[in-house]
């Protein structure tokens, strides 16, 4: 059973999973993959599993490192989204279409899914995204432009948006030292 924890916990990993850690400017993440593709990405805190990589984790780690250093704006990895609802997968496929450095509102996401009334359902599926950053759920914001809801925390959402569009979302330093 998968945990609801923001950070990686033992219940998030099965014996069959392959795991690879990737360090970034916003923390260390565990990439978890099956033989079919990447299943999840979670920040690491207290539980640090041993690396057990496969070609899917290698590819995702390499592409994430390029993303965080500004050398790449797109991801090309294989996903394993088995066990998730068709609606959630439709939402995540729509998120992948949001261009790097751009944002849309939850209302726009619902409209793109063909049902402007499914805002809450789309927002809920957005929040359950198991592969944040690569499936860019951080690019969905409130209709008023506010940064709302992000499973990894609003501070991380702001950093990701700032990385992608520094002119619009620059993180302002409030102290000198």
pLDDT, tens digit (0-9, with 9 covering 90-100), for 48-69:
999 999 999 999 999 999 999 9
**Rounded distance between C-alpha atoms, residue 167 and residue 177, angstroms:** 23
Pick the more confident residue, 127 or 4: 127
State pTM to two decimals. 0.90
173: Cβ contacts below 8 Å, ≥ 6 apart: none
Is position 15 within any domain?
yes
Which of the four pLDDT bands, split at 50, 70 and 90, describes residue 6? confident
pLDDT of residue 175: 53
Catalytic residues: 137
Q: Coil, helix or strand for 39?
A: strand
Residue range 115-132: mean pLDDT, rounded: 95
Q: 107 CB contacts (<8 Å, ≥6 apart)?
A: 116, 119, 143
CA angle 34, 37, 133 (to 5 degrees): 115
Instruction: For residue 110, give the nearest of 129, 126, 131, 132 by alpha carbon.
Output: 126
pLDDT at residue 1 in the model: 44
User: What is the residue range of 154's domain?
Assistant: 86-168
Question: Do 40 and 102 fall within a single domain?
Answer: no
Asked if 41 contacts 1 with a C-beta cutoff of 8 angstroms, the reply is no
Q: 170 pLDDT exceeds 80? A: no
Q: Is residue 115 assigned to a domain?
A: yes
Residue 73 included in any domain: no
Domain count, the chain: 2
Q: Which residues pair with 30 in a beta bridge?
A: 21, 42
Q: How confident is the model at residue 177 (pLDDT cuts 50, 70, 90)?
A: very low
As a whole number of angstroms, the distance between CA 170 and CA 163 comes to 8
């Amino acid at each position: 059973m998968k945990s609801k924890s923001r950070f990686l916990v033992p219940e998030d990993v099965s014996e069959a999973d392959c795991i690879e850690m990737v360090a970034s400017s916003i923390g260390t993440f565990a990439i978890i993959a099956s033989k079919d593709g990447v299943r999840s990405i979670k920040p690491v805190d207290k539980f640090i599993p041993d690396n057990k990589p496969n070609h899917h984790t290698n590819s995702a780690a390499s592409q994430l490192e390029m993303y965080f250093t500004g050398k790449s704006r797109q991801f090309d990895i294989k996903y394993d989204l088995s066990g998730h609802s068709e609606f959630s997968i439709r939402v995540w496929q729509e998120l992948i279409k949001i261009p790097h450095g751009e944002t849309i509102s939850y209302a726009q996401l619902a409209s793109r899914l063909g049902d402007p009334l499914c805002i809450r359902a789309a927002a809920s599926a957005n929040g359950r995204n198991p592969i944040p950053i690569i499936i860019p759920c951080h690019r969905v914001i409130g209709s008023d432009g506010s940064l709302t809801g992000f499973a990894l925390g609003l501070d991380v959402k702001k950093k990701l948006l700032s990385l992608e569009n520094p002119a619009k979302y620059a993180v302002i330093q409030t102290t000198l030292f």
